[in-house]
Amino acid sequence: MKIILANPRGFCAGVNMAIESLEKALGLFGAPLYVYHEIVHNRPIVERFRALGVVFVDDISEVPTGGTVLYSAHGVAPAIREQSKTRNLRAIDATCPLVTKVHMEAVKFAREGYTIVLIGHEGHDEVIGTMGEAPANMVLVEDEADVAALTLPPDTRLAFLTQTTLSVDEARVVIDALKRKYPQVVGPNKDDICYATQNRQEAVRTLAPEVDVVLVLGSRNSSNSARLAELATQTAHPAYLIDRVSELKDEWFGPTDTVLITAGASAPEEHVQACVEYLQARFGAEVESRVVREEHVSFPLPRELRVLVTS
Ligand code: SF4
């Protein structure tokens, strides 16, 4: 067996920042510490923090008045910030700056009188947060069929935005359909799919043709992890999305298979390494690391935390 380790894989700058923020906040304020939604969409990480006394809530009213709440990497709607203020909460904003950028684009387009088509997945935390910036001006579409079903007047002043963790190929199809139906539509210079999502997909697209099976470390509710598994499947290989090595099944592999291993932007490297070690021990796998693109991105801690850490 041969293992090809895809690079880049795993943690992105936004996830690194959000996790470090939560660790720092725990050190400063102790438990219980409240986080609005999962800090990142990864089960092992959420379980680890829960064991340390972090309470993940889906409603701000669950945070005791005067308590500390951290907003997850996926961002929040302005209404949530207002609720926190009303309840006199200390809020720490660990929203990824690339999500904040989409929020600012939404605000700008809405202010200029555009109707905004957001391309994204219904119910995803990031989409809920972005829609909350201009609820009266935004409509959500997931795919080409949704674009076909749009009933906006043909001369609508129209703009589009995208969720940061979409499939690059699928987003292109939806944007093209939108441009065919509403040629006047404007958008950001590039779509809003973030560098980490694009690079991880590029690595899978490049390397998957060389392998027999693809293993993606990540959680099912992680949009970018799920997109990696879908992309691998489209290259006609079986692809498995798992959180940890205990979910591996021997029958997925042949003894001389080449296995591509990658990880979504919220999946910890320790779970990649555990899978590598298992396949080495079980099938005598050799490992080759392949770099498709270099990444050198990092984001600072939220300002509220930087001030506290410094003082
Ligand atoms: S996947 Fe992209 S948008 Fe999401 S946290 Fe990471 S860098 Fe930010």
Question: In this predicted model, what pLDDT tens digit does every residue of 257-304 receive, in sequence order?
Answer: 999 999 999 999 999 999 999 999 999 999 999 999 999 999 999 999
* Structural contact between residues 71 and 105, judged by C-beta atoms closer than 8 angstroms: no
Find the DSSP H helices in the chain: 13-29, 43-51, 78-86, 97-111, 125-131, 144-149, 168-181, 195-207, 223-234, 269-283, 303-310
Compute the half-sphere exposure of residue 50: CA atoms within 13 Å on the CB side of its CA.
12
What's the confidence (pLDDT) of residue 188? 87
* Structural contact between residues 295 and 199, judged by C-beta atoms closer than 8 angstroms: yes
What's the confidence (pLDDT) of residue 300? 97
Stretches where the chain sits below pLDDT 70 are 236
Identify whether 126 is a catalytic site residue.
yes
Question: Measured in angstroms, how far is the CA atom of residue 11 from the centroid of ligand 1?
Answer: 9
Question: Measured in angstroms, how far is the CA atom of residue 266 from the centroid of ligand 1?
Answer: 9
Pocket test residue of 12, 193, 195, 227 for ligand 1, highest count of atoms within 8 A of CB: 12
Gap between the Cα atoms of 218 and 267, Å rounded: 5
Q: Residue 12: CB within 6 Å of ligand 1?
A: yes
61 in helix, strand or coil? helix
Tell me the two tokens of residue 104: 């600012």
Question: Measured in angstroms, how far is the CA atom of residue 283 from the centroid of ligand 1?
Answer: 34
> Which residue's C-alpha comes closest to atom 5 of ligand 1?
14
pTM listed for this prediction: 0.95
Q: Which domains does the chain have, with CATH numbers?
A: 2-11+195-291 (3.40.1010.20), 13-96+299-310 (3.40.50.11270), 98-181 (3.40.1010.20)
Q: Residue 72: CB within 6 Å of ligand 1?
A: no
What's the confidence (pLDDT) of residue 191? 75
Question: Measured in angstroms, how far is the CA atom of residue 296 from the centroid of ligand 1?
Answer: 14
Q: Give the nearest ligand 1 atom to 15 CA.
A: 5
Gap between the Cα atoms of 157 and 116, Å rounded: 9
Mean pLDDT of the chain: 96
Q: Give the nearest ligand 1 atom to 14 CA.
A: 5
Which residues neighbour 200 within 8 Å (Cβ) at sequence distance 6 or greater?
Answer: 6, 8, 9, 224, 228, 262, 264, 265
Tell me the two tokens of residue 257: 């298979």
Q: Residue 194: CB within 6 Å of ligand 1?
A: yes
